[in-house]
Amino acid sequence: MAAKYIHHFDDLGCDLVQDQQNSRHRILVVEDEHDLRQITAEVLIDAGYHVDMAQNGAVAWSALQRSEYDLLITDQFMPKVSGDELLRKIHGAHMTLPVIMATGFLPAWEFALHIWLQPVKMLLKPYSFERLLDTVKSVLPKDASASDDIPPTPLPPEPPLPPLPSQFA
């Protein structure tokens, strides 16, 4: 594996993590828990992806305006800008970007009210690294996969969203 380096992305606190390989996919990982953010980035880098990290939604929004990404993996509950607020900003800016929301709590009520906010996939915490990589592979186009040509393991179906409360139906 090629050497990795980490440096400060900007004064907002976004770290850029790159491997020296010629990866074809750029992923932005947004997570306020430092250790989980770092481990997630390392797993993705080891799988051959180019990874940028942001510690909250505000930093992620800044990074999204400066660079193009093939995938956004975001937490939901973060300081400054939450995951669903970040999705609103992306939608408002007419950005087309697949999103994996990795969270311990599904904001189903928000998605039920605003169907256009729904991420491509939900990844429930705690998740295994295998589940993370399988979810990433299922979202990114097959023809430009950064890792080997092993097909992703089929994922079980996502749990259905709860019905809307009667006042919203």
The string of pLDDT tens digits covering residues 13-44 is 455 444 434 457 999 999 999 999 999 999 99
Does residue 8 register a pLDDT over 90? no
pTM score over 0.75: no
Mean per-residue pLDDT, 69-83: 90
φ/ψ of 157, rounded to 5, equals: -60, 150
**Record: fold of 4-140:** Rossmann fold (3.40.50)
**Ranges of each domain in the chain:** 4-140
Does residue 91 register a pLDDT over 50? yes
110 falls in which pLDDT band (50, 70, 90)? low
pLDDT higher at 18 or 164: 164
Contact predicate 73/54, CB 8 Å = no
φ/ψ of 147, rounded to 5, equals: -100, -170
CB atoms within 10 A of CB 122: 20
Q: Kindly give, in sequence order, each residue whose CB lies less than 8 Å from that of residue 48, ignoring residues fewer than 6 positions away.
A: 19, 21, 23, 146, 147
